[in-house]
Amino acid sequence: MAGQLEFPEEFYIANVTEMAEKLVAALQENQDLVLDLTRVERIDSAGIQVLISARKEAECLGANLSFKLSDAVSSFASRIGITL
């Protein structure tokens, strides 16, 4: 089953736990999951850490995980040397 999880405009330490819980549930329910971060304007290292953990969890579950990134997310990830 394919699914999509949309992220809010801000994905940082203040809401990372809530989004991580939604992400885990979505991964368990969907063999193919798209993380839609196109609305995200603010992200920090805690948000990036959740995305990296999600990719690792998807690999363990044999699920396909893909990302739709906003410019803000792409830019921040690039600045810290992360490829999503």
Residue 12, helix vs strand vs coil: coil
Q: Across the 84 residues of the chain, what is the mean pLDDT of every consecutive 10-residue run?
A: 91 95 93 97 97 95 96 97 92
- Distance between CA atoms of residues 80 and 47, nearest Å: 13
CATH for 2-79 is 3.30.750.24
Mean pLDDT of the chain: 95
User: Which amino acid does the sequence have at 81?
Assistant: G
pTM surpassing 0.75? Answer: yes
pLDDT value of residue 2: 81
pLDDT value of residue 1: 58
- Cβ-contact 11, 42 below 8 angstroms: yes
